[in-house]
Amino acid sequence: MDRSPRPIIIDTDPGQDDAVALILALASPDELDVLGITTVAGNVPLPLTTRNALAIVELCQRSDVGVFAGCDRPMERPLVTAEHVHGPTGLDGSGLGHPTLEPSKTHAVDFIIAKIQEASPARPVTLCALGPLTNVATALQTAPDIAERIDEIVMMGGGFFEGGNITPAAEFNMYVDPQAAAVVFGSGVPLVLMPLDVTHQALTSPTRIKVFRDLQTQAGMSVAGMLNFSERFDINKYGGIGAPLHDPTVLAYLLDPQLFGGKTCNVEIETSSELTMGMTVVDWWKVTERPENCLVMNTIDDGGFFDLLIKGIGRIG
Ligand code: BDR
Ligand code: CA
């Protein structure tokens, strides 16, 4: 068995929870070979998601990992952003300044296509999608041959029993670019989905945030600051003790899949009705004959998940 680090590309729209996911990935070089970070418009516009990704790469002292700016708007619909959740910069609470690193001149979509095409068939690339799926879908449409070369796409998005978080029916990443999501779910690539049904079980708490702060490193303090910021909005919204930590579940799955449980089913994306636009229609009970196209998770060992995060973030100075 090949024990070399798994080659991954992280497509992201940081966002505090994206930032924590990036730190976890960059802190795990023995397990994950981050070929590059591609940015997309989502939580905040593209110039900010790109700047934020660079700030995290700099925080982790991983200037060997390139950042590639991608699509600045969804495939068909106007961009919807989430400053009301993440603050005007997208990384409010992090305490990070403007990065000195610059993004690559290569477009994210070209980078994704090239890396997938040049990978050895014995070690195919895994895509980690933490934001709207615009870059990933555009790559699949531009170079359809890459579909059969991708190891899998592991993504955060959607919700089924848990409903939506930006509309009653839709989760933010799927809602922002439902046409892109439909391309990805119809692509035939092996898919793993971390929906709200999982992430709403992965809640921060004052005790958990304190553990990050107590690391007394810049990364630990930044993570604590970002989680503290997210909590303000989410506690108000959900009425619980903490905020869901969405995107790091994708990286945690790659590092320790045993933390999660779920089943393979059919998932289709609503692209017609404005009322339910971007809804992930998950055939959990197999009431249709539609083909199974996605491993959908619905459980998480949240204690194990936070332990993994602390261990990872503790490795960054
Ligand atoms: C998703 O939307 C964004 O706000 C988060 O970064 C996460 O990817 C949660 O719905
Ligand atoms: Ca995100």
> In this predicted structure, what is the pLDDT of residue 136?
98
DSSP lists the bridge partners of residue 262 as 297
Q: Is the pLDDT of residue 290 over 80?
A: yes
Domain that residue 32 falls in: 6-313
CA distances from 188 to 183, 263, 288 (A): 10, 17, 18
Q: Tell me, in angstroms, the distance from the centre of ligand 2 to residue 11's CA.
A: 9
CATH of residue 238's domain is 3.90.245.10
**Which ligand does the CA of 194 lie closest to?**
1
Q: Is the pLDDT of residue 240 over 90?
A: no
pLDDT, one tens digit per residue, over 174-217 is: 999 999 999 999 999 999 999 999 999 999 999 999 999 999 99
Probe target for ligand 1 pocket from 11, 172, 177, with the most ligand atoms within 8 Å of CB:
172
> In this predicted structure, what is the pLDDT of residue 1?
67
Residue 189 resides in a domain: yes
Atom of ligand 1 nearest to the CA of 82: 4
Ligand 1 first shell, C-beta below 6 A? 15, 17-18, 43, 82, 85, 130-131, 156, 165, 171-173, 246-247
Residue 86 resides in a domain: yes
Residue 1 resides in a domain: no
Q: Which residue has the tokens 């790469």?
A: 57
Atom of ligand 1 nearest to the CA of 16: 6
Residue 128 resides in a domain: yes
Residue 126 resides in a domain: yes
pLDDT, one tens digit per residue, over 130-185 is: 999 999 999 999 999 999 999 999 999 999 999 999 999 999 999 999 999 999 99
pLDDT, one tens digit per residue, over 217-239 is: 999 999 999 999 987 777 777 77
> In this predicted structure, what is the pLDDT of residue 236?
73
Residues tagged active-site: 246
Angle between helix axes 302-313 and 16-26 (nearest 10 degrees) is 70
Residue 303 resides in a domain: yes
Question: What is the mean predicted confidence (pLDDT) over 254-268?
Answer: 98
Average pLDDT of every residue of the chain = 96
Residue 188 resides in a domain: yes
Residue 28 resides in a domain: yes
Residue 152 CA to residue 139 CA, distance in Å, equals 14
Q: Is the pLDDT of residue 317 over 90?
A: no
The count of structural domains within the chain is 1
